[in-house]
Structure 1
């Protein structure tokens, strides 16, 4: 025989290997089996079967071409596919869980190596705090941004691996499903489900809680393992004559040396200061944080006579408490006529124009700059080393490592000690119920999730149901509770972000404009965006930890939003996957997508969400988490005294916020919401009841009539399947289910059909006809 004749030949419906078992006595109903051949099958199909159950023709479908073939030929499993190669990275949930384990282990090793490297080579600032970079504040903020991008990518990978295994743990085994069905309870298949926990083994529930609880500290801490510590210098302003730098005398009684100002020392080093013209001087000191300069000598053009070489002293100090009255670098703009000269706008509620509004225009007329009552000739600036730092918290990383280890243990247990295989997706459930039908759902072939939930209070009935297909949209696949819960979370997140944005703008020190907010940028500390009143004095882990918890609490809320959002998408596409198997979908027979494929079955390392949706959603989640980390964040500002000799210590430890980052969160969140509703409005193929993730409804659709032996059922699930009505079943006695009682007979009492999944040719169910 050639290769074609060796292929498996599937006979059409019926006959079967054994005659059907009558549900009600065939003798009492006076029914006799009607012989049926392939030819008569085609001729007996009514013309309406060439169209969908909507007889108006707007939803026409392409009939299964195999139903027109007397002896359809289907490929048999190849030897290469039947001989399963044993490898560490096996397909399905086992392979996916091992990938998740690999990710968790790689993250753990990377965290350990990073910690060892920093502790060994870093500069220890105090207990548990290490400095990993010292330099300009601009570069420090730039490195801090990149570090947080990397942290969010790593955290998203670790949390996604954990969430995947949590879904595996909530996926019930067939034994657990059977126990639930025996109690008239249904479980969720293919989606993350908290309601399943009550029907799972204690081991799986404990592991689920372990992975879930271990995610919370990672959300609260991971983003603040690295944080930037900005520095600003307090400084003195000396108004002098040109010969001050040459050691000319001055009134030492009026300007004595003290711990904050040593005029003698400054005069002795004045020739080493940088000479700046007026424009350079304004630009150097018109900053919120003066990081690389300290004392400045303002050399006046027309010095007063007989007053020595030093005429006036001012100081510029960063305040411990920033209020709306704070006017940074005010000494530059202390000329009463400067507002008129520069035409700067506008006065604030306290009656003055902030110097930050004046200096951009003052720079353009720097040759006319006057300050301290003197016209400025040039400046001499003391240049110092910038002391902005990027810090690493060993204590926080220790917490991260501890929970990283817990995740590795939990994920490893899922990968290697899961026990009985879970029904991870709907393909697994269909395969299991076709191999071993569940007797509790016999005679319920048209059951939907809605019908099962509606009858859950009074017990599940097994009566025949009239076929009345409706066109459903994707969003109908999710329950109203799922939609209500997700809407509530979205409302909380978007409303909370909007409220925080409004409060932030209202309390912003400076202009409350989008231009000013944009100038602050993302994740940038400025005097105007500090949350004052939460100042936590001291230097070390305690103050950092408290501010970290305050700053990172939103991370946990946004992670919960992603889980709910992903779950809703999962149930929608799970329903589409099932609906596409219907003969009325016009897509022909399709192979089951299972986690342990055999024969012609399909496999994927994802769960019930396609890659083209799952990966963008994961990226969107990472983007949101990064924006959250840039919208409210830890702020450390070190204030260096005017003499520059006091050791560094944290003067301000609080949180800062970025209005523009909050605005971006609203845009991204609104975009995700629009994308969700746009997807929910898509239409599902008409024909099959809307099963969703309901295990009872899935089971009810997996009862092919006849007494098929184990090998036939095993062979069936390995071939392409479709859902539809069994051809030729026009009598109650043809169903072959034991213990079935007819509750809703058709007009003649006998015309009861049956729908199910099968690898044999199926026909479209007829609208208005009863099926059981």
Structure 2
């Protein structure tokens, strides 16, 4: 009689429309199986991958064009001008660079996730050996199982992942700001000699300007003098008469950036410009002569020559990396665009609904943690007479509780190490500045300041670049982990609504009324804020530790020498660390604020847990393409659509096609019978607290 039950043909529910899907051969194709050879439809994840390839190609074209433009010029200069304008351009360019880097990072992560997405055959092989795979996230766990089928997937995955390391070490240093610093002489004289000075000591092709004492001191106590060269200090007429102009400061040639004392030797309290005694100057390198008070000064004005420069060798390396990423992404689409990979959790659900997995029978209430160390043979097959199904019990969870614990541990470890190192370094910097009576707020955000330069005498351009960009590399690693954390939350959020609202599955290759998904498992409401925050963080980092490039000029038109060093911005460092630490705090806040009702098991990305909830009742042969809900299969509905079932009523748990040989005690009372929960297009009810389900 049991065979009679399983041969029942269920009529379609009224109001359901299949839009002539029966005539569409794509609907009949088993989900998760390869398409016809050579057919690569431009839908869903393939569109996303091609968009990623297009963005990668766009960045490649921009980088290559920039290289050609600079190569056609004599020298590395992109443009030159006044320092304020050039600095703004440099900041804007670095913001664009970090946006481009984030686009490359996003496209890389997308393609890596595609490469690690398993096929149904790979999942079945893993399940048969008691192993589970990740669905919908970028997972190293899948590498062994997908790699045995295709070595190219591993090669492409390694190309995409390893190429990100040098990219973040080099990209921000391809374009850099070069600051002008002029040498100058300072003279002190009485008003009597002013005319002679202007006639014999000032180049007639240069303009001069008269300044008040405070203006004069402010102009010449800057860290780097770019607007002016020589200065003549006109003393008060009441001061002791001088027999002629006295040179109080000679042009210096320091070999180390940061030794700002040379600029201020002629100014009283030169070590602490903020404490300048108004109008006093050094005379004869002696103590401040208070009898010689500044009346005003005459400064020589020159053209500013700050530059944005371009490092060709680094850009060539970046272009090669960029090209490798583009080719890897396009190869991914070309080689695997016609394979039925399960990219999203919806893909996996559709595949398991169409072809249920016998390895997970009788585990409809099990969450992902219940499948840790899961045996290859389901316990219901091992001992069907003694096997006791689990009781249903609501298990409300905060979103943070559904996150894979190993991912959370790695994030916590990285954050702890990074914040500890950064915090101690910032504390040391602030302490050193305080010891020199320097207020860190006076050192601007992203500004080159001679008081904030590390390792200035390295003399090794490559070493400076690596030191400046190691933080960029460190910031890239958490991006992939945060992506996985938000994916766990998004999956939990999506499944939590299934007991109340009937939905079509969101799949990467829709058929019938299934929903399209041009993103992978992470919705835009999560992925876009994550990418924006990542771009902001990398830009803040680029303004916190950076290459310091100083061009020393003779005050007129000749560049004497060029020196590079590692600069830092205390404000930028604090801002970067603050945002870096705020991201996990924000994730924790969201994870604690939002939660699930605990009706649907927390399956996460675990392929076995997903499979266990996808054992529909007999007759529900089109559940994969119908709107589905999760819950207990409604026996009353089965009685209505087929009276034959009522006569041979068995627990819903054994109504699946894969379990027809399993015996179980019959019961006519719903509260006593062993129930079955699943994703199905048939009507469902909310599971009963304390009832057994399998």
TM-score tier by shorter-chain length is: 0.7 to 0.9
In structure 2, the partner of 1:96 is 48
Partner of 1:465, secondary structure, is coil
CA distance in 1, matches of 2:78, 2:664: 76
Instruction: Pick the aligned partner of 1:699 from 605, 611, 615.
Output: 611
Point out the more displaced range, 399-408 or 167-176: 167-176
Q: What are the Cα deviations for residues 131-177 of structure 1, in whole angstroms up to 9, with x where unaligned?
A: 11222222222211111011111111111111111111111111211
Pair 1:485–1:740, CA change in 2 (3 A):
farther
Does 2:341 align with 1:389?
no
Instruction: Pick the aligned partner of 2:402 from 477, 483, 508.
Output: 477
In structure 1, the partner of 2:126 is 180
- What is the correspondence of 1:678-757 to structure 2 with a 5 Å cutoff? 678-681=589-592, 682-706=594-618, 708=619, 713=621, 715-728=622-635, 730-731=650-651, 734-738=655-659, 751-757=673-679
Is residue 127–residue 376 contact of structure 2 (8 Å, CA) maintained in 1?
A: no
In structure 2, the partner of 1:232 is 181
Partner of 1:134, secondary structure, is strand
CA distance in 1, matches of 2:533, 2:243: 66
Q: What are the Cα deviations for residues 629-663 of structure 1, in whole angstroms up to 9, with x where unaligned?
A: 11111111223357x57644223x21111111121
Partner of 2:416, secondary structure, is helix
Instruction: Pick the aligned partner of 2:63 from 104, 111, 114.
Output: 111
In structure 2, the partner of 1:221 is 170
CA distance in 2, matches of 1:231, 1:384: 11
Instruction: Pick the aligned partner of 1:626 from 539, 545, 557.
Output: 539
Instruction: Pick the aligned partner of 2:550 from 637, 650, 658.
Output: 637
Does 2:480 align with 1:563?
yes
Partner of 1:273, secondary structure, is strand
Pair 1:646–1:520, CA change in 2 (3 A):
same
Paired residues, number = 650
CA distance in 1, matches of 2:560, 2:260: 27
Partner of 2:685, secondary structure, is coil
Pair 1:559–1:272, CA change in 2 (3 A):
closer
TM-score (norm 2): 0.85
CA distance in 2, matches of 1:36, 1:267: 104
Partner of 1:672, secondary structure, is helix
Is residue 575–residue 690 contact of structure 1 (8 Å, CA) maintained in 2?
A: yes
In structure 2, the partner of 1:77 is 19
Instruction: Pick the aligned partner of 1:576 from 493, 496, 510.
Output: 493
Is residue 510–residue 516 contact of structure 2 (8 Å, CA) maintained in 1?
A: yes
Pair 1:89–1:440, CA change in 2 (3 A):
closer
Partner of 2:137, secondary structure, is coil
CA distance in 1, matches of 2:247, 2:291: 10
In structure 2, the partner of 1:524 is 447
CA distance in 2, matches of 1:371, 1:742: 108
Structure 1 residue runs of 5 or longer lacking an equivalent are 1-14, 22-34, 39-69, 125-129, 249-262, 335-352, 538-542
Pair 1:37–1:456, CA change in 2 (3 A):
closer
Once the two structures are TM-superposed, the CA of residue 379 in structure 1 deviates from its matched residue by 2.0
In structure 1, the partner of 2:142 is 196
Instruction: Pick the aligned partner of 1:131 from 56, 59, 77.
Output: 77
Q: CA RMSD of the aligned region, Å?
A: 3.6
In structure 2, the partner of 1:206 is 155
CA distance in 2, matches of 1:277, 1:505: 34
Does 2:473 align with 1:535?
no
Instruction: Pick the aligned partner of 2:517 from 591, 604, 627.
Output: 604
Pair 1:591–1:181, CA change in 2 (3 A):
same
CA distance in 2, matches of 1:654, 1:268: 33
Structure 2 residue runs of 5 or longer lacking an equivalent are 27-37, 282-287, 381-386, 636-648
In structure 2, the partner of 1:764 is 686
Pair 1:308–1:89, CA change in 2 (3 A):
farther
- What is the correspondence of 1:312-711 to structure 2 with a 5 Å cutoff? 312-315=247-250, 317=252, 319-321=254-256, 326=261, 328-333=263-268, 354-359=271-276, 362=278, 374-418=292-336, 419-453=338-372, 455-456=373-374, 460-462=378-380, 463=387, 464-508=389-433, 516-532=439-455, 534-537=456-459, 543-581=460-498, 583=499, 586=500, 588-641=501-554, 647-651=559-563, 653-681=564-592, 682-706=594-618, 708=619
- What is the correspondence of 1:249-260 to structure 2 with a 5 Å cutoff? none
Once the two structures are TM-superposed, the CA of residue 275 in structure 1 deviates from its matched residue by 3.2
Does 2:92 align with 1:146?
yes
Partner of 1:244, secondary structure, is helix
Is residue 81–residue 306 contact of structure 2 (8 Å, CA) maintained in 1?
A: yes
Once the two structures are TM-superposed, the CA of residue 315 in structure 1 deviates from its matched residue by 2.5
Does 2:6 align with 1:20?
yes
Does 2:208 align with 1:290?
no
Is residue 231–residue 388 contact of structure 1 (8 Å, CA) maintained in 2?
A: yes
CA distance in 2, matches of 1:416, 1:189: 22
CA distance in 2, matches of 1:505, 1:618: 31
